Structure 1
Amino acid sequence: MPPAPLLSTIGFDADDTLWQNEQFFQLTERRFTALLADHAAPEHLSQRLLEAEKRNLRLYGFGVKGFTLSMIETAIEVTEGRAPSAVIAEILAAGREMLEHPVETLPGARETLETLAGRYRIVLVTKGDLFDQERKLAASGLGELFDAVEIVSDKTAATYERVFTRHGDGPARAMMIGNSLKSDVVPVLRAGGWGVHVPHDLTWALEHHDEPVNEPRYRKIAALAEVIDLVETIS
Structure 2
Amino acid sequence: MTARTLGIALVLAVAGAAGGYAVGAVNADEPRTISMAMPVPAASPSYPVNEYDVQPDPDDPALEPGLPLVAARFRASAGYALRASVPEGWAKGGDGSMRTFAIPGANSNTYRLRIGIFTDRQSVGVKRSARIGALESAEDDDEMQNVVVEDEADDGFVATYLQNGYRRVTMERFVDLGRTSAYATVAVVGRETDRAGMADLLERVSASLRVP
TM-score greater than 0.5 by the shorter chain:
no
Max radius of gyration: which structure?
Answer: 2
Q: TM-score, normalised by structure 1?
A: 0.23
Greater relative contact order, per chain length (Cα 8 Å cut-off, separation 6+) = 1
